[in-house]
Amino acid sequence: MPVSGVVISCLVGCSEAVSGRIAAFDGVEVHGVLPDNQIVAVIEADTVDAEVKLVSQLHEVEDVVSVRLAYHNFEDL
Amino acid sequence: MDSSTKHSGITRRRFLKDGVLLPLALAAAGGGVSTLFLRRADARGFYLRPPGALEEGNFLAACIKCGKCAQACPYNSIRMSGAEAGVAIGTPHIIARETPCYLCPDLPCAKACPSGALDRKLEDVEKVRMGTAVIVDRENCLSLRGLRCEVCYRQCPLIDKAITILPRHNQRTGVHSIMEPVIHHDKCVGCGICENACVRDKPVIVVMKSPPEQKDYYEF
Amino acid sequence: MSFKWWPIRRLVQLGVIALIASPLAGLNIFRGNLAAGDLLGVGLADPLAFMQATLASHIFILSFFGSALAVAAFYFVIGGRTFCGWVCPVYLVTELNDRLSRYLGIAERSYSLSGTRWSLAVTLSVSLLAGIPLFEMLSPIGITSRAIMFKSWTPLLLVLGIMIVEALAARRIWCRSLCPVGGFYALLGRFSPLRVGFSRQRCTGCGECSRVCPVEEVLAPSLVDGAGQVTSGDCTRCGDCIDICPAKALDVNIWYK
Amino acid sequence: MALSRREFLKASAAAVAFAAAGASVLNPKVSEAGDAGIKWGKAPCRFCGTGCGVLVGVKGGKIVATKGDPAAPVNRGLNCIKGYFLSKVLYGKDRLTKPLIRKGDKMVEASWDEAMTLIASKFKESIAKHGPDSVAMYGSGQWTVFEGYAALKLFKGGIGTNNIEPNARLCMASAVTGFMTTFASDEPMGCYDDLDLGDTYFLWGANMAECHPVLFSRMIDNRLKNPDVRIIDFGTRRTRTSQMADQYVRFNPQTDLALLNAIAHVIIKEKLYDEKFIKKHVVFKKGKENIGYGLEDKFKFTDDPKPISFDDYKKFLEKYTPEYASKLSGVPAAKIVELARLYADKKRKVNSLWTMGFNQHVRGTWVNNLVYNVHLLTGKISRPGENPMSLTGQPSACGTAREVGTFTHRLPADMVVTNPEHRAKAAEIWGIDVKRIPDKPTYNATEMFRALDRGDIKVLWSQVTNPFQSLPHLNRYRKGARKGDGRFVIVSDIYPTKSTEVADVILPSASWVEKEGFFGNAERRGQQWFKMVDAPGEAKSDLWQTMELARRLGHGNLFPYKYAEKEIFEEYRKFTVGGKDLAPYEAYVKARGLRWPVVNGKETLWRYAEGHDPYVKAGEGVKFYKNKKDDGRAVIWARPYEPAAESPDKQYPFWLCTGRVLEHWHTGTMTGRVPEIKRAYPAAVCEMHPDDAKRMGIKNLQKVKITSRRGTIILPVDLNGRGKAEKGNIFVAFFDETKLINELCIDAYCPISGEPDYKKCAVKVEKA
C-alpha cells in the first residue's frame, strides 16, 4: 500500500480554503498549513495507480498550483 | 711553540674551540642523530610503501635506501623519507594525497629493487598489498550524504572489485538512492588513488595499514 | 709540468657525483646510488650493504650477491679503500673540510685507524641481531647521495655534524676511525695487488708525504723501516703522497714487483 | 504491528514533506538565513539538463556556498559532484574581466566601447558587402531564455538572416526532429515522475549513472522499493549504468536501427500490439531512404513523407526478423524476442530513456522515430509512469534552444521560418514588417562553420559555448576560423578556452547568478533565478552584449525594455499561449519551477493525456493534438537500417566513441577550474578492451597513438576503468582541452536533424 507525503502549493491566500477542500478526499490527511501558501499532506491509496489518480485529482482542486511528491513509499505493508 | 701555547696562545683559539664551537658541534651532531631516531612513521602510524613491499619490519631490514624504486616510478609517486622518518630514514614511501601509486602493470619500482625489500617476482598488480582504503569520516562523505559523488569508486583501478556501490533508499528525499561506496579489504591493494581523488578538503577515504580492527567475525 | 694524480682523482670524484645526479637531467646512464645502482644496465652493489641487508632480512638475492661480488672484486684489484679516495662523495667533503681545518689549525688529534674494524663488526652484528641494516640508516654516503638524487636536505645535518667535529676536534675521524665501509675495504685492500711503492734511496725524509696523507700511519713502515711498498689496507691510493714528494721517492707499484 | 509500521511511514512521509516545504518558506528571491550572515537564493544548477535546484549562499558580494535545494522537486536537496562545487565554478583564477581585441598575435585589453564599436563596424561592413547571410550567431543551450530570445530576435527580426544556431544542434537536434516528425510538437510527454512510477526502463545509448546522476539515483531508488523494476541498458560500451542495470545488451554501433525494427517486428508477429490504440491514435508513414551523411559542403536534404497502411508497415518490417537483426547487431535473436515481449508486456509500465547514443547518430531522427514506434504500437505512452523520454545535456537546451527556437529554421514555440503564418505571428509580436524575417533556413551548426571556413560567413559571434573544442572534424574548423580574408570571430565567455584562442575579439561574460536567468530542463520545467552577485571586473551578460550590438546596428527599437529580463519573458510568453503555455514571470519567481503547459496556474505532468493535459478533452483518453495534419494522431515511421557514415576497415579497424564523465561537464572549461574536480579526474584516457590491447601488446596506462582520417592524438590506455570498451571499440571523453579528441571525429550528420555523429568513426590504434 503506497504512502506519500506531498506538498501542495496554492494561490496566494487560498491555503485554508484548499486544505478544507482536500481534506474531504478519501485517503488524504492534512498535516499542516504553512504560512507561504503551502500545505503538507499525507496520501494513502491501495495501489500506485490509485495514488497517482488521487494526486491528479488534487491537482484539479480549485486554487491548487502544484502538488509535489516529497516522500513516496510503496512497499507491501 | 709550546711556551706560547702555555701563556697567551691558549686564550682566543682555545676559547673559541672549547667554549663555543665544540659544544655547538656536539649539539648539531646530537640533534641530527636524535631526530633520526626519535621520530617514527607519520601521523597515521604507517608509511605507504611501494607495491611489493615486505611487511614493515622485514622491509626495513632489507631496504638499503638506494632510491632505485623512486627513480623507476614514472609518476614520481615514490619519495624517499627524510630525517623525520627516524629509523625509516631514506626509505621509499608514497604520499597518496599528493601522488598515489597508479599501479603500472609491469611494476617497474618493484623490479628495480636490488635487495628484495620489494618483491621483484610480483607480476599481478591485483596481488599488491600496500594497505587498504578505509572511509574514516562517514559524516563528511558526500556519497553517504546522498550526493552523486563516488569519485573514489569510479577512479578505483580495481573498480567493482576493491570498491563496489551499494545503493540504498534515501529516507530524507524519499525518491533517491544513496550510492554507498563499499570497500572490500580483501581486494583493495592500497594504491591510494581514492585518497588522492577524494574531493573533500580532508579526504574521507584514506589508505591504512589494515582495516580497523573488528571485534567479531562478521564480514560485511 | 710533471704528471699529477690529483686532477684525475678530483675528476673521478666529481664524475661519481655527476653520475648520481644524472637521472635528474633525464639521462639513463646510472640509476640508484653507491649502496646499489645500475651503471649502463649493469647491477652494482656495495658489498657491505649487501651483507647488512642479507644479515638483517635473511633474504638472499642472487643478483644482489653477484653485484656485490663484482664490486668487491673490482676494489680488491685496485686496492680496497680506493673506493674512499676516489669514489666516496663524503671523502671529498671531509677532504676539503680537512683543508679548512688545517688552515684554521684547530683540530689536531687523530684517532686510531682500527676504529673502522670495530665499527664494521658492530654494523654487521647489529644488522644481524636487530634486523636492521644499521649503517645504511646512518650512512652519510647514502644521505649525501639521496640529497643529490631527491633533494632531501635535512639528513645532511649529520654530514654537517661530522664536518664540524672533524674540523674542531678530531681530524678526519669519520673516514679514519668510524666508517664501516672504510673498515670493510681496508680488510679487502690488505692484499690488493695495486700499491704505493717507496724508494728509500730517493727519500730525503722531508715528511711532506705524511703531512698530506689522510692515514699517515700507513707510510710509517716505509718511512721508518724502509719497506718498499705500502701494504696497509687503509691506504686509500689517493696518490697525494706521490704527487707531493719532491724527490719522487713514491710511485705506483704492483704487488711483489 | 502492521499498523505501527504504517503509522511510522505516514509520520516519515509527513516529516519529509514538511522538510521539503519548510525550506521553501524562505523567500525565494533572497532571504536572510541564520548561518553567519549568508543570504540564500534559489537557482537551477548550471550544468546538465536535469535541472536540479540549488540554494546559492551569498556573503560580501561573493558566492560562498551552494547547497541542493530541499524544496526543489527534481533533486530534493541533492546534487552531483559538479553541482556540489558550483560555488567555485565562477571563481577560477583566469576569469575574463575585460574585453580583448586581437592586435597581431596578441590579445590586447580594450574598453567595451572600443570592442563593441569594432564588432558593430565588422557586422555593418560585412552586411553591406556580402549581405546579411555573411554574419552569424552561434549560441547555446546554456543561454538563458532571455539571451536566446534576444539573439533570435536580433538576427531573424533585425539583421534579417537565419544565421543563428545553438550548440544544441550538436546535442539533441535529433530528439527535436524525432518529436517533430512523430508528434509535430517538440519535447517529451512524460516527466521525471515516470522514474518513480514505472517498472521497466529501457536505456538506449544513455550513460545515466554518470551523465544524469541525480535522475539515475531516482530510478535506482524505484528499483530498491520495487523488486519488480527492470532496467535494461542497451549500449555499445559497458558503463557504470550497465553495471547497475539488470541487463546489459551490447550491440554493434549503428545497429540500434535494426534492433528497434526487430522489436517492432516481434511485437507485430506475436500480436502484442494495442490494436485499439493504433486505430485511434496512429498513422503510418514512410520517408526517403539512402539519405546520405551530410559530408559534403552545402549538403541539402528534404524528406518526402508518404502515408502508408498498417499492412505496408508490417511488410516493411518483415525483413527485420530477430535473426536478421541479430546478425547485424550481435544481440542473440532470443534476447531480441525476450526484450520485445518485455516492451509489450501489458502488466508492465515501460519507459525508454536515451541521450547522445541516439541523438548523435547519422540516423538520429530515424532512431528517435523508431523508439516512438515501439511505444505507439504498444500504447505505452502519455500515461503516468509509462513514456519515452529524451534526456538532455544542457541546462536550457529545452528552455532556450528548443522552446525559444534559436535554430536556423525555427521561430519561438515550435514555429518555423518556412511557414508564412508563423512568420506573420512572429512579425506581429515583434512589431515588424513580416518581410524582414527571411523565409529560408541557412546553415545548421556544422554547415555554419563550413561556411566560415569557405568564407561565405565572414563574421561569427559565439556566446556561452566552446565550438572550437566541441565541433567534430575540429582541425578544419579551427584552421578555417583563422584563415583571415575578412573573417572575424567574436567569442563571449567567462574563461579563456580553445575558442577564445581563435577569436579576434573576446568579450568577458557574466555567468549564472551574476545575472537574472531562466532555464528550461528536460521535463519541460521552467526555472527562474535572480541576479545574486556582480560579475567580476567589467564582465557583462550576453543579453546586454546582444542588445548593445542591436543598438549599434540600428535595431535598438527591437529592445525597448526597462526590465529587460521580465519584459522579454512576457513578450516571449505570447508565442507560447495556446500550446506551450508558459506561466507569467511572477509564478516562476515563486515556484521551484513549473512544467509547461501551465494553464490556469496548473502545470502539466503528462502531455496528450486526459486528466493531465488541459488541451485533451474529456473522453479522448490520449490525443496527439499537436499533429493537426494527421488529425491528432502520432506517426509510426517505416525507417530502415542504414550503415554509419564511416565504419572500421583494415586500415582503421576500431570504432571511436566519445562522451562525458560524471566529474566534468562538456569541454571542461568550468569543471576544470575546480581544483577538487581537476584532481579527481585530471586528464582524458582511452578506454579499450583488454583483449584488443593484449593482441597488440599494449599494457594498461601505456600511451597509444589514435589516428583517424582526420587527426591524431596520444593518450594513455585504460583497460579497466569506469567504462569498458567492447572489442573493436575505443572510447575517449572530450572534456580535456589538451587532448582534442574531436579532431578525430567525422563531421557526418543526420540529414534530417543536422546533428553530427560523435559516436562512430573509424580509427587505428598504435603503441605510441
Residue range D752-766, pLDDT digits in tens: 999 999 999 999 999
Strands D459-463 vs D488-493: parallel, antiparallel or unpaired: parallel
Task: Determine the Cα–Cα distance for residues B80 and B103; give it in Å rounded to an integer.
Answer: 18
- Domain enclosing residue B206, as ranges: 131-210
Query: What are the catalytic residues of D?
Result: 82, 171-172, 356, 393-394
In 3D space, the residue among D359, D662, D648, D373 whose CA is nearest the CA of residue D522 turns out to be D359
Q: Are residues C150 and C223 in the same domain?
A: no
Q: Are residues B122 and B47 in the same domain?
A: yes
Average pLDDT, chain D: 95
Average pLDDT over residues B42-54: 81
Residue written as cell 620489494?
B118
In 3D space, the residue among D208, D171, D320 whose CA is nearest the CA of residue D256 turns out to be D320
Average pLDDT, chain C: 91
Q: Are residues C182 and C226 in the same domain?
A: no
CA D202 to chain CA centroid, nearest Å: 19
- Residue D678 falls within a domain, yes or no? yes
Query: Residue type for C19, please?
Result: L
CB atoms within 10 A of CB D682: 12
Residue written as cell 580509427?
D763
Chain C partners within 8 Å of B67 (Cβ): 32-33, 145-146, 149-150
Cell representation of residue D249: 545488451
Q: E-assigned strands of D355-417? A: 388-390, 410-411, 415-416
SS3 state at D383: strand
- Domain enclosing residue C231, as ranges: 194-254
**Residue D700 contacts B, CB cutoff 8 Å:** yes
- Domain enclosing residue D631, as ranges: 173-393+621-638
Q: Are residues C211 and C133 in the same domain?
A: no
pLDDT tens digits, A12-59: 888 888 888 888 888 888 888 887 788 888 888 888 788 878 888 888
Q: Are residues D531 and D483 in the same domain?
A: yes
Task: Determine the Cα–Cα distance for residues D535 and D511; give it in Å rounded to an integer.
Answer: 7
Q: For residue D657, is pLDDT > 80?
A: yes
In sequence order, what are the residues at sequence separation of 6 or more whose Cβ sits closer than 8 angstroms to the Cβ of residue D187?
D179, D398, D402, D403, D524
Residue written as cell 562522451?
D659
Task: Determine the Cα–Cα distance for residues C160 and C171; give it in Å rounded to an integer.
Answer: 14
Q: Are residues D389 and D405 in the same domain?
A: no
- Residue B9 falls within a domain, yes or no? no
SS3 state at D766: strand
Task: Determine the Cα–Cα distance for residues D250 and D727; give it in Å rounded to an integer.
Answer: 11
Task: Determine the Cα–Cα distance for residues B28 and D304; give it in Å rounded to an integer.
Answer: 92
Contact C155, C136 (CB under 8 A): no
Count structural domains, chain D.
3
Interface of D with B in 66-95 (CB under 8 A): 68, 75-81, 84-85
Q: Are residues C221 and C126 in the same domain?
A: no
- Residue C30 falls within a domain, yes or no? yes
In 3D space, the residue among D726, D67, B53 whose CA is nearest the CA of residue C57 turns out to be B53
Decide which of D1 and A24 is more confident. A24
- Residue B88 falls within a domain, yes or no? yes
Residue written as cell 621509499?
B92
Average pLDDT over residues B1-12: 44
Q: Are residues B118 and B50 in the same domain?
A: yes
- Residue B102 falls within a domain, yes or no? yes
CB contact under 8 A, B17 and C168: yes
CB atoms within 10 A of CB D267: 21
DSSP per-residue letters across D426-457:
HHHHHTS-GGGS-SS----HHHHHHHHHHTS-
In 3D space, the residue among D189, D231, D228 whose CA is nearest the CA of residue D208 turns out to be D231
Q: For residue D30, is pLDDT > 60?
A: no
- Residue B109 falls within a domain, yes or no? yes
CB contact under 8 A, C36 and B66: yes
Q: Are residues D682 and D634 in the same domain?
A: no
Chain B partners within 8 Å of C161 (Cβ): 25, 28-30, 32-33
DSSP per-residue letters across A7-61:
EEEESTT-HHHHHHHHHTSTTEEEEEEETTTEEEEEEE-SSHHHHHHHHHHHHHS
- Residue B16 falls within a domain, yes or no? no
pLDDT tens digits, D589-609: 989 999 999 999 999 999 999
Eight-class DSSP state of B6: I
Task: Determine the Cα–Cα distance for residues D613 and D595; give it in Å rounded to an integer.
Answer: 11
- Residue B14 falls within a domain, yes or no? no
Q: Are residues C182 and C204 in the same domain?
A: no
Q: Are residues C30 and C116 in the same domain?
A: yes
CB contact under 8 A, B175 and D196: yes
Query: Residue type for D210, please?
Result: E
In 3D space, the residue among B136, B127, B100 whose CA is nearest the CA of residue B212 turns out to be B136
CATH number for position B63: 3.30.70.20
SS3 state at D675: helix
- Residue C183 falls within a domain, yes or no? yes
Domain boundary (C170, C188, C206) is at: C188
Q: Give, for D368, the enclosing helix (H) or strand (E).
A: helix D364-378
Could you give the count of Cα atoms lying within 13 Å of D161 in the half-sphere of its Cβ?
23
Domain boundary (B127, B144, B173) is at: B127
pLDDT tens digits, D520-539: 999 999 999 999 999 999 99
Instruction: Give residue A12's pLDDT.
Output: 80
Contact D524, D189 (CB under 8 A): no
Q: Are residues C160 and C206 in the same domain?
A: no
Count structural domains, chain B.
2
Task: Determine the Cα–Cα distance for residues D267 and D158; give it in Å rounded to an integer.
Answer: 52
D382 class by beta-carbon count within 10 Å (0-12 exposed, 13-18 middle, 19+ buried): buried
Contacts 24+ apart (CB under 8 A), D334-339: D335/D249, D336/D259, D336/D262, D336/D263, D336/D266, D337/D266, D339/D202, D339/D232, D339/D249, D339/D263
Q: Which residues pair with B206 in a beta bridge?
A: B134
Question: Edge to edge, what strands does the sheet with D488-493 contain?
Answer: D106-109, D100-103, D505-508, D488-493, D459-463, D135-139, D164-166
pLDDT tens digits, D674-713: 999 999 999 999 999 999 999 999 999 999 999 999 999 9
Q: What is the largest CA-CA distance in chain A?
A: 38
Q: Are residues D476 and D554 in the same domain?
A: yes
SS3 state at C199: coil
CB atoms within 10 A of CB D63: 22
pLDDT tens digits, B125-179: 999 999 999 999 999 999 999 999 999 999 999 999 999 999 999 998 999 999 9
Q: Are residues C86 and C172 in the same domain?
A: yes
CATH number for position D720: 2.40.40.20
CA D441 to chain CA centroid, nearest Å: 21
- Residue D258 falls within a domain, yes or no? yes
Model pTM?
0.87
In 3D space, the residue among D373, D96, D78, D360 whose CA is nearest the CA of residue D221 turns out to be D78
pLDDT tens digits, D152-202: 999 999 999 999 999 999 999 999 999 999 999 999 999 999 999 999 999
CB pairs under 8 A between B and D: 113
Cell representation of residue C233: 689496507
CB contact under 8 A, C49 and B72: no
Task: Determine the Cα–Cα distance for residues D74 and D592; give it in Å rounded to an integer.
Answer: 9
Residue written as cell 491528479?
A56
- Residue C2 falls within a domain, yes or no? no
Domain boundary (C173, C188, C203) is at: C188
Choose, out of B65, B91, B111, the residue to mutate when testing the contact with C (most C CBs < 10 Å): B65
DSSP per-residue letters across D578-642:
TTT-PPPHHHHHHSS-EESP-BTTB--SSTTBTTT-TTSPTT-SB--TT-GGGTT-EEEEE----
Domain boundary (C188, C213, C238) is at: C188
**Residue A13 contacts D, CB cutoff 8 Å:** no
For A72, the closest chain B residue by CA position comes to B174
CB pairs under 8 A between A and D: 102
Q: Are residues C129 and C239 in the same domain?
A: no
Task: Determine the Cα–Cα distance for residues D218 and D74; give it in Å rounded to an integer.
Answer: 9
CB pairs under 8 A between A and B: 11
ipTM of this complex prediction, to 2 decimal places: 0.87
Q: Are residues D190 and D306 in the same domain?
A: yes
CATH number for position D414: 3.40.50.740
For D82, the closest chain B residue by CA position comes to B149
Q: What is the pLDDT confidence band of residue B9, given thresholds at 50, 70 and 90?
A: very low
Cell representation of residue D643: 550503415
Instruction: Give residue B220's pLDDT.
Output: 54
Q: Are residues C63 and C84 in the same domain?
A: yes
Domain boundary (B98, B127, B156) is at: B127
- Residue C62 falls within a domain, yes or no? yes
**Residue A47 contacts D, CB cutoff 8 Å:** no
**Residue B74 contacts A, CB cutoff 8 Å:** no
SS3 of D289-358 = CCCCCCCCCCCCCCCCCEEECHHHHHHHHHCCCHHHHHHHHCCCHHHHHHHHHHHHCCCCCEEEEECHHH
Contact yes or no, A with B (3+ CB pairs under 8 Å): yes
Q: Give, for D41, the enclosing helix (H) or strand (E).
A: strand D39-44
Min Cα distance B209 → chain C (Å) is 21
**Residue D664 contacts B, CB cutoff 8 Å:** no
Cell representation of residue B140: 563528511
Q: E-assigned strands of D681-760? A: 686-688, 703-708, 712-718, 724-725, 729-733
Q: Are residues D423 and D531 in the same domain?
A: yes
- Residue D381 falls within a domain, yes or no? yes
Cell representation of residue D250: 551490447
- Residue C245 falls within a domain, yes or no? yes
Q: Are residues B75 and B119 in the same domain?
A: yes
Strands A3-10 vs A28-34: parallel, antiparallel or unpaired: unpaired
Task: Determine the Cα–Cα distance for residues C188 and C184; give it in Å rounded to an integer.
Answer: 6
Contact A22, A15 (CB under 8 A): no
Domain boundary (B71, B93, B127) is at: B127
Q: Are residues D268 and D352 in the same domain?
A: yes
Q: Are residues C167 and C210 in the same domain?
A: no
Cell representation of residue B158: 580495481
Q: Are residues D456 and D410 in the same domain?
A: yes
Q: Are residues B151 and B109 in the same domain?
A: no
- Residue B33 falls within a domain, yes or no? no
**Residue D597 contacts A, CB cutoff 8 Å:** no
Q: Are residues C26 and C63 in the same domain?
A: yes
Count structural domains, chain C.
2
SS3 state at D59: strand
- Residue D455 falls within a domain, yes or no? yes
- Nearest 5°: phi and psi at C143? -60, -45
CB contact under 8 A, D12 and A66: no
Query: Residue type for D191, please?
Result: C
Nearest to B171 among D12, D243, D722 (CB): D12
Q: For residue C167, is pLDDT > 90?
A: no
CA D390 to chain CA centroid, nearest Å: 9
Chain A partners within 8 Å of B177 (Cβ): none
Q: For residue B203, is pLDDT > 90?
A: yes
Q: For residue D25, is pLDDT > 50?
A: no
Contact yes or no, A with D (3+ CB pairs under 8 Å): yes
Q: Are residues D133 and D182 in the same domain?
A: no
Min Cα distance A4 → chain B (Å) is 9
Decide which of C104 and B65 is more confident. B65
Instruction: Give residue A13's pLDDT.
Output: 80
